[in-house]
Structure 1
């Protein structure tokens, strides 16, 4: 958990600066079927399982959730933003989705 938190603390501000989007806080928790989430109040949640994935996967999830602050749904505007900030996002998403979310003890 500590390593994941340290990486998020380092990487999230860089993505906020790059996208000009700012979240209203974030936390980590165990999620059984999602890598991250963004609530309407602008708080981001990151799955603790991300600690077992490559950094590029963490970057993708951070970007993915940040962009939901601007566009709530996965529509063409949202996809255009992903393409703009991470042109190779589809490769990373595939890599991320190849990881199996398993219960943590």
Structure 2
């Protein structure tokens, strides 16, 4: 028997059949979640199983959905700036000091050397995104750390393939994924609060999720939006 369910905002196809244990799949190309469950398993048990593996599911969905994203950083492409897509305009720089990225109205202008490569244009954009994310995340950390009564000794930004953020519990150190510069502000806030909660509870225990609910009650919706299928650009 096949049934469609929605668990914490994620659609799940549940197939009940004559097996002894659960099987979980995240399928390409869109990250569809499929669960095979023993025939007599209740919906409640299925929900508990999926929630227990939610971090793995989200990680796999992110890998699948970003695997084939290709950009040339050329005029006409769209680059999200905290969730808002901006058309990219590439211009040639008259001097090296003119190289960089800036917003002009509803456009994102990338000024690069004549004959620049895709990699050079990407590096200019990444540098600008790092600056934008550093400002936004810094304000969020300054706001949330006192509310959670935690101290962040240091935090950094880097490119990560499978995680939006990481936390070193003992060192009180947080890393944020540079790709957050393209995500909606509410999703950036979710990741910041998520990592700060890890300074109170290192694992994804029941206590951790209770803390998330206490400080950010709509975190499931934010997490779903963060990991939803990326729209074609």
TM-score after normalising by structure 1:
0.91
Give me the whole-angstrom Cα distance separating, in 2, the residues matched to 1:54 and 1:46: 14
Question: What does residue range 13-28 of structure 1 map to in structure 2 within 5 Å?
Answer: 13-28=142-157
Which of 148, 160, 183 pairs up with 1:31? 160
Match of 2:173 in 1: 43
Write out per-residue CA displacement over residues 33-65 of structure 1, whole angstroms, 9 at most, x where no aligned residue. Answer: 000000131100000000000111111100000
Corresponding position of 2:138: 9
C-alpha spacing 1:70/1:99, structure 2 compared with 1 (3 Å): farther
Corresponding position of 1:59: 189
Does residue 88 of the first structure (1) align with residue 215 of the second (2)? no
Structure 1 or 2: larger strand share? 2
Return the alpha-carbon distance in structure 2 between the equivalents of residues 91 and 65 of structure 1. 17
Distance in 1 between the 2:213 and 2:139 partners?
23
How many Å apart are 1:99 and its aligned residue?
5.5
Aligned alpha-carbon RMSD (Å): 1.0
Structure number with the bigger relative contact order (C-alpha 8 A, sep ≥ 6) is 1
CA distance in 2, matches of 1:24, 1:98: 32
Q: CA deviation at 1:11?
A: 1.1
- Using the alignment, how far apart are the partners of 1:84 and 1:6 within structure 2? 26
| Structure 1 residues 70 and 4, CA gap change in structure 2 (3 angstroms) | same
Residue-pair matches, total: 100
TM-score by length of 2: 0.42
Gaps of 5+ in 1: 101-105
